[in-house]
Structure formats: C-alpha cells, structure tokens
Amino acid sequence: NAGVTQTPKFQVLKTGQSMTLQCAQDMNHEYMSWYRQDPGMGLRLIHYSVGAGITDQGEVPNGYNVSRSTTEDFPLRLLSAAPSQTSVYFCASSPRTWRSTDTQYFGPGTRLTVL
C-alpha cells in the first residue's frame, strides 16, 4: 500500500489564482480530512469526510471547498488564493468505526506559498 499520497509537494500561487490539492489513499478508509499547519502552530482542521458523498466543515473552512466522489480521493480546492492561505497542508485518513477510535494516517504534506 502506498498509504496516503498528496500532490503536489510544493506550490507557489499568485493572489487570486485557484488550484486543487490532491489527496488519495489506497487503504479503503472511509474517513478523510484536511488540516493546515502554520509556523509554530498545531494542525487545524479544514474539512473532513466520513464517506463518499459526505463532507463537513472543520475549524477553518473559509476559502476552501472539498468533495468526495470516491472513497479513495479527497481533493481540496482553493477558490481564490490569498496570502493568508500560505501554509503546509496535510491530508489524513482512517478506517471508520462506530467507536471512532481508529488512528489517523497522514500524508507527507503540501507546502503552499501564496504571493
């Protein structure tokens, strides 16, 4: 298994541009999520999904859209990039159980700079 993969690893955008950060997992996990991490800070949840066709907002959803058309993929879209969105973005997945105590597996991250 490749685990959780993210592309691209690095990206530079100009203010106002749009782009999609890709995330895929090959472990048949139902739960997927996106976090951002700013310098000296912990991770903050942007959006999450408990299964195909179901998404919900996390702590900092503004400026981001997500969709979950398949179990494997969970792309994060920046509609109009702003310098405040300069950050490292991590995607994570985990199996879903009713007890919800499964560990999350994180991808390697995408480092985004918005000029």
Partner 1 sequence: DAKTTQPPSMDCAEGRAANLPCNHSTISGNEYVYWYRQIHSQGPQYIIHGLKNNETNEMASLIITEDRKSSTLILPHATLRDTAVYYCIVITVAGAGSYQLTFGKGTKLSVIP
Restricting to residues 25-44, name those near partner 1 by CB under 8 A. Answer: 31, 33, 35, 40-44
Backbone angles phi, psi at 83, to 5 degrees: -55, -30
Residue 74 in the binding site for partner 1 (CB under 8 A): no
Size of the site for partner 1 (CB under 8 A): 30
Does 45 help bind partner 1 (rule: CB under 8 A)?
Answer: yes
64 binds partner 1 (CB under 8 A): no
Least Cβ distance, residue 109 to partner 1 (angstroms): 6
Q: How far is the CB of 76 from partner 1 (least distance, A)?
A: 15
Concatenating the DSSP letter of every residue in 7-73 gives E-SEEEE-TT--EEEEEEESS--SEEEEEEE-TT--EEEEEEEEETTEEEE-S--TTEEE--SSSSB
Residues that bind partner 1 (CB under 8 A): 4, 31, 33, 35, 40-45, 48, 50, 56, 58-59, 90, 92, 96-101, 103-109
